[in-house]
Amino acid sequence: MNVAIAAPPSAAARHSRRRKRRSKTALVTICFGVGAIYFIPLVWVLSMSVRSAREILEPGLIPQSFNPENYGDAWERYELGKLFKNTGIVTAGTVLLGVALSVTAAYGFSLVKSRFGEFAFTVLLLGLMVPPAAVIIPFFIGMRELGLYDSLLAVVLAETVFVLPLGVLILRAYIESIPKDLSDAARIDGASEWSVFARIVFPLILPAAATVALFMFLSAWNGFLLPLVLLRDPNKTTLTVGLSQFSGQFGSFEWHLVAAASAIAVVPVLLVFYLARRYYVQGLAAGALKQ
């Protein structure tokens, strides 16, 4: 190695610098190339969504005509307002209930250290592993026996159960990283257990709660199996179930409208996802790598 350092800038060194620059250009090309390929499905749908009915069989990524009225047509034709409302109710309910339950449960887990608590935590980890499809039958039967079948409440409750384990896991880890001295000091000053939680712990865990809320939002908004199984009334369907149905029914000859509907369904979630990406990455690191 000494030889290489001691030698003056030679032809070989210049050559290697040039090679370095060339490999860098190659990397940049790969970045933009692969990134562009990755964007094709989304760009293609957007392109289809503004085409005329005749043009949907035409090739290419660039539409020949521009028909933004497709969006209004799709909204009316597939009653997207209704689907949006139902999906919104399910998502809001799941996020509110899920965050409330996972914050209190995580705080409980961190306060009470008992063998029973450890067992409950193991059950929680089991909840992370079990695929929703595998326990859909008891959910279906249970909701029916409770008289909740075909109600949005059933979907909210079921979605909450599936998002809860990850929420508790992330929040518990976060709460345990808060120095105990803080809450102990407050207790010595005579603060009640509730005010310790409300005034000290809760404000500190807000970033983690945001991460948890984001995961719950995504999972409820994008959920498919639970609304598919737990709802029957077409007036209560959610966006994903509705889209899968009319894509199958009309997709071949109304693809411009189905594409517009897909774009409408995708935009809010991608916007939230993009803006909150920091929280997603944090949650991923906390949830996936440090279980």
Binding residues among 80-139 for other proteins as defined by CB under 8 A: 105, 108-109, 112, 116-117, 119-120, 123-139
Helix (H) or strand (E) holding 263: helix 255-275
Q: Does 169 bind other proteins (CB under 8 A)?
A: no
Q: Does 24 bind other proteins (CB under 8 A)?
A: yes
- Residue nearer to other proteins on the CB measure, 186 or 254: 254
Residue 185 CB, nearest distance to other proteins (Å)?
A: 27
Give how far Cα 175 sits from Cα of 61, 117, 128, 187, 286, Å: 49, 16, 19, 17, 12
DSSP reduced 3-state for 254: coil
- Residue nearer to other proteins on the CB measure, 116 or 194: 116
Residue 221 CB, nearest distance to other proteins (Å)?
A: 7
Residue 108 CB, nearest distance to other proteins (Å)?
A: 6
Tell me if 37 sits within 8 A of 29, measured CB to CB. Answer: no
Among 99, 106, 156, 164, binds other proteins (CB under 8 A): 164
State how far the Cα of 212 lies from the Cα of 283, in Å rounded to an integer: 7
Residues recorded for the chain: 291
Under DSSP, the state recorded for 50 is T
Give how far Cα 215 sits from Cα of 127, 160, 194, 262, 288, Å: 16, 11, 27, 21, 13
Position 274: which residue type? Y
Q: Does 52 bind other proteins (CB under 8 A)?
A: no
- Residue nearer to other proteins on the CB measure, 87 or 183: 87
Question: Rounded to 5 degrees, what angle do the CA atoms 21, 27, 28 make?
Answer: 90
Q: Does 11 bind other proteins (CB under 8 A)?
A: no
DSSP reduced 3-state for 252: coil
Q: Quick one: tokens of 83?
A: 């689907």
Q: Does 78 bind other proteins (CB under 8 A)?
A: no
b/e map of 180-189 (b: 16 or more CB within 10 Å)? Answer: eeebeebeee
Among 221, 230, 231, 236, binds other proteins (CB under 8 A): 221
State how far the Cα of 164 lies from the Cα of 101, in Å rounded to an integer: 8
Residue 165 CB, nearest distance to other proteins (Å)?
A: 7
Cα end-to-end span (Å), the chain: 43
Of 232-291, which residues contact other proteins (CB under 8 A)? 239-241, 243-244, 247-248, 251, 255, 258-259, 262, 265-266, 269-270, 272-274, 277, 280-281, 284-285, 288-289, 291
Residue 152 CB, nearest distance to other proteins (Å)?
A: 18
Q: Quick one: tokens of 37?
A: 């390929």
Residue 78 CB, nearest distance to other proteins (Å)?
A: 12
- Residue nearer to other proteins on the CB measure, 28 or 92: 28
Of 178-207, which residues contact other proteins (CB under 8 A)? none
Choose the binding region for other proteins from 58-66, 77-85, 179-187, 203-211 (rule: CB under 8 A). Answer: 58-66
